[in-house]
Amino acid sequence: MKAAVLREVRTPLQIEDVQINKPGPHEVLIRTAAAGVCHSDLHFIEGSYPHPLPAVLGHESAGVVEAVGSEVRTVKPGDHVITCLSAFCGHCEFCLTGHMSLCVSPETKRAPDEEPRLKSDKGPMVQYLNLSSFAEQMLIHEHACVAIRPDMPLDRAALIGCGVMTGVGAAMHTSNVRPGDTVAVIGLGGVGLAAVNGAAIAGASRIIGIDMAPGKENMAKAFGATDFICAKDTDPVKEVIEMTKGGVQHSFEAIGLAKTAEQAFNMLRRGGTANVIGMIPVGQTISLMGAAFLGEKRIQGSLMGSNRFPVDMPRLVDFYLAGKLKLDDMISRRLKLEQVNEAFEEMKTGAVARSVIVFDA
């Protein structure tokens, strides 16, 4: 099969022929239909986060099941599925207490003495984030995908697999936005727009979108924002505090910078919660005023929207088909696998929400 391979950091991905194994007892073979190009991949390409190489990248995807292992009971051949990087074992402490997205059990991967799921003529390939979806096929653990209704377009379904689940889940699960709450979202890429949309679905009364690009205002409001601040022209912390007469109850940092994480905390009202969704590069630290904690302000991380994806993703599909979840406008461009490097270059400009690789294009 064709796949996009990262062999060295800070170099373009290479389109190569990669061999994929047959499903083990708890594994599923999927024909990839679409894969979103996510900023998280760029962090690994640029070396901001380390990862063993060579690896087939990609982790935001949807497709159709081609074959299943002997013990698989959750999906069957022909099912349309969304994948999720937070594969779960189902019986560790995290899983049993409802925190499936935090599961780190090695059971969802192949053991070192087993044949690798992916390899090339040059040797084994590393599977990236349990998926490796920049490829024509994926071989994954059954608890890394969920079946969805077949009338859901798979290019839109792919977005739910990471960016949308991360943003919507951060609002609904991690921070528990309630009807009438006030919200600010810093960074209006795919994840930030999903957080705006999730806050709107949850019933937030005021949602302030913040971005350096003034052109993001119309899109932010289409996803549910009530207000927009261009951070290029003003101090967003000061603006938010003035607009809300004291700060918001929930803020979301969806870029991955120390500065914007600090801003997210500083724009809170007393008792508010700042949620860092973006991937702050390894080694960076943030600085907060200690006295602010006397007002019971909190700052916390959010991993994949604190998801229970086998339940959450089919519900998000229903939200989309009911017109509540905005996915159509999130796709800026549809590309072929061979254009993946072009997609990352466009991402760096900040002008696109999401590019999607479509495998029948």
Active centre residues (catalytic): 38, 40, 43, 59, 162
Other C-beta atoms closer than 10 Å to the C-beta of 324 total 13
Structure tokens at 274: 């700042």
Q: Are strands 227-230 and 206-211 parallel, antiparallel or unpaired?
A: parallel
Residues with Cβ within 8 Å of 96's Cβ and at least 6 positions away in sequence, in order, are none
Residue 40 is inside which H or E element, if any?
A: helix 39-45
Question: How long, in residues, is the chain?
Answer: 361
How many whole angstroms separate alpha carbon 15 and alpha carbon 20? 15
Give the helix/strand (H/E) hosting 242: helix 236-244
Which two three-digit tokens encode residue 277?
Answer: 């969704």
SS3 300: strand
Residue in this structure with the two tokens 């894969």, named with its chain if needed: 35
User: Residue 137's Cα: distance from chain center in Å?
Assistant: 20
Q: Which residues of the chain form beta strands (DSSP E)?
A: 2-6, 14-17, 19-20, 27-37, 55-56, 61-68, 80-83, 118-120, 123-127, 137-141, 145-148, 182-186, 206-211, 227-230, 248-253, 268-276, 298-301, 331-335, 354-358
